[in-house]
A and B are shown apart, each in its own frame.
Chain A
Amino acid sequence: MDAYDKGSTARRSDPEPSTRRGPEPGAGTRRPPRVGLSALSLRYQIAGAFALVVVAAGACVHMAMVFLHVAPPNTASKEYGRTVDGWIYPEFEQNWKLFAPNPLQQNIAVQARAEVRTAGGGTHTTGWYDLSAQDGTAIDGNLLPSHTQQNELRRAWDFYLSAHDSENRPNGLRGQLSERYIRRIVVLRLSDEKDVAAHGERADGKGADGDRADGGAGGITRVQVRSRTTNVAPPPWSGEKVDPKPVYREVPWWTVTVADRALDSGTRARAAGEEAGAR
């Protein structure tokens, strides 16, 4: 109890009125232990008060920044936009427009086809694979959909669209990265397809080992991607009509390089070396 007693004498000499309102010790009754700033002598009280100001200011400034970040563009965010961005990015970025202002009313499916080297040295073009439909099937009846099924391709395509103009011209680094990202997802997924794998194996002519030297991509030389956008039919009671015909957006053929393989051999060798080293 020493500390608290010291605190109480200090309290009496404390000039700040706000801390004087504590309960006075009643005679004969056990008074509650003094806590917080009142328990400290003036010197420590000043340090504590300083901390109080710093924390209060920090919390308020932070929430003001987050508010300006999530609010629509306005007078304040125009004035202080760069300060707000500097505070928010990269770790406090957030977007809560969940299904707002309107929920998405279109099913956007990403489809892909591949050009595969054949045994005779020619090329074979596969049919279109609806990768989003495969995601959809994986999600059906699933209580725990994986991010690889629900977010990977969907958000990769969003990223591609946001980093390209309508002529499929990339803008800057993000544009290039988004192209490579889509390509790598497509190569990863198409490598497992029968049509691709069958031709790929024949192209290598060496079975599993040859396949591996090829980075496991089954001899895919080029891929093409397109999106198929279909309007969700409005509810029957609304009386609205939308065009049920899907709209396609086709991206030109992309050449698949070693860098697009899901597992490029350089990384694999490095990883293997490190694993051996760790052992």
Chain B
Amino acid sequence: MNRIDRVTGFALGPYQSAVIRIGFSATWLLFLLREFPHRHELYGPDGPWSWDMAQQLIAGNGAFTALMWSDGRAWFEIVYAAAVVTAALLMLGWRTRTMSVLFMIGVLSLQNRSIFMGDGGDNVIHLMSIYLVLTRCGQVWSLDARRAARAREEGGAGRPDRVGPLLWWLAGLGLSAITFMGVVSGGWLVAFWGLWAVQGLWWAVNRRDPYGEPRVLFDVIANLAHNGALFVIMAEACLIYATAGWYKIQGNRWQDGTAVYYPLHLDYFSPWPALGDLLASHGLMIMLVSYGTVVVQVAFPFTLFNRRVKNVLLVAMMCEHAVIAVLLGLPFFSLAMIAADAVFLPTSFLKRLGGWVARARGGLFSRTARARAVPGPRAAESPEQAHVGFTP
């Protein structure tokens, strides 16, 4: 099979796109739950970065946020709750495409409302929530995949889907409302209506003839968008490491091998001050970690051409982020970065991981475990899975 048929015929990396879907939505969900007691101070209309201050700044840069549609306390609570619910549903893969759009709206709404509250982790989630919309990230490990598998078992003679059209009509109603209210700028409105129209067209074309040429063409376009977005996600992750690494090389603290010592002595990044003092007596180790960090970050993008070296570095980076989560007190940043790293994990490992999770789940809820472990249709017929980790 030639390359063009591969990128047009398959949404490559079904397991990789599923794992980042789960990773980013879980990170955002946990963040929202953790900040629930502080939500008003962070994003509420009366927080220190008040609603009208945000409006003055947003009037200048045109960022998208639903929280600017009203300064009411009730509206804020609705948006925050919706962000929590859509993050959870995207994680589970329920109506994945629709949820990915709502997830993005939740992320952008809260983050753009108070841009001075975020850090690198918020930045990663912000970008990835936009890219995820264009991926087919629910092919495996999702409620959608389970529903599709059940429909296949029933031989396609099952009941017609009622929830999908209902969601579509509700989305159309919501879109009409914000269009008439005039609260959303042109570009976003076109994007939202476009996505909505495509969903509707897809349903109609599929209903007329699920094996017809228009339907196959739609599949081709969706695969292309998915593969393009997955490429962008991988390239973005590489750019993050490349930027972080190449700028570090220019710093004299990274050159003299003391850099790692300093963050551990900053009040804002040292939850365990005693640890900083302890490390102060291990100069050689600090140097090795400093040099190792730079080497790994600079080298990572190039190792994608060698599967084995890539996997070694991937493990190193995930471990480093896990350590950063605890030592520098940056759990959500680290989780977001680990989720981004996961896009490079090999399919064989992800399948095994899925197996373990399914078996662990099976122990808990034996009834539903089997369906979850069945891979999606594309995954089963794609011969490329083993390689998609590094050639989208």
Contacts and interface: CB of A to CB of B under 8 A. Distances in A.
Given A90-B63, A107-B267, A144-B34, A152 B243 contact: no
A32 B383 CA distance: 11
Given A97-B247, A102-B254, A271-B73, A143 B326 contact: yes
A145 B254 CA distance: 27
A191 to B, nearest CB: 12
B283 A39 contact: no
Contact of B74 (A185, A237, A274): A274
A26 B41 CA distance: 68
Interface stretch (B7-15, B81-89, B153-161, B309-317): B7-15
A132 B266 CA distance: 11
Given A19-B4, A66-B239, A235-B280, A147 B53 contact: no
Interface stretch (B117-125, B164-172, B173-181): B117-125
Contact of B259 (A103, A132, A133): A103
Interface stretch (B140-148, B215-223, B353-361, B366-374): B215-223
A118 interface: no
Contacts of B235: 59, 63
A275 B50 contact: no
Contact of B265 (A33, A62, A232): A232
A167 interface: no
Contacts of B1: 22-23, 32, 35-36
A2 interface: yes
B135 to A, nearest CB: 12
B252 A102 contact: yes
B243 A96 contact: yes
A32 B45 CA distance: 58
Given A3-B213, A36-B223, A96-B239, A236 B281 contact: yes
A25 interface: no
Contacts of B271: 139-143, 145
Number of chain A interface residues as a range: 35 or more
Interface string B1-45: 110111111100000000000000000000000110010011001
B72 A91 contact: no
In this complex, the member of A52, A174, A262 whose beta carbon has the largest number of chain B beta carbons within 10 angstroms is: A52
Interface stretch (B93-101, B194-202, B224-232, B342-350): B224-232
Contact of A147 (B9, B42, B108, B326): B42
A6 B225 CA distance: 25
Contacts of A222: none
A106 to B, nearest CB: 8
A220 interface: no
Contacts of A185: 48
A36 B223 CA distance: 9
B268 A180 contact: no
Contacts of B60: 173
Contact of B112 (A56, A90, A99, A132): A90
A51 B71 contact: no
Interface stretch (A41-49, A120-128, A243-251): A41-49
19 contacts: A35-B1, A44-B217, A63-B235, A91-B130, A93-B123, A95-B123, A96-B240, A97-B243, A97-B244, A103-B260, A107-B266, A136-B267, A141-B272, A144-B34, A146-B34, A150-B329, A184-B48, A232-B265, A278-B74
Interface of B: 1-2, 4-10, 34-35, 38, 41-42, 45-51, 53, 56-57, 60-64, 70-75, 108, 112, 116-120, 123, 126-127, 130, 211-214, 216-217, 220-221, 223-225, 227-229, 231-232, 235-236, 239-240, 243-244, 247-254, 256, 258-263, 265-273, 280-281, 283, 286, 326, 329, 331, 381
Given A140-B270, A268-B46, 12 more contacts: A36-B8, A38-B5, A51-B220, A59-B235, A93-B123, A95-B120, A99-B248, A103-B262, A132-B268, A232-B262, A235-B286, A263-B46
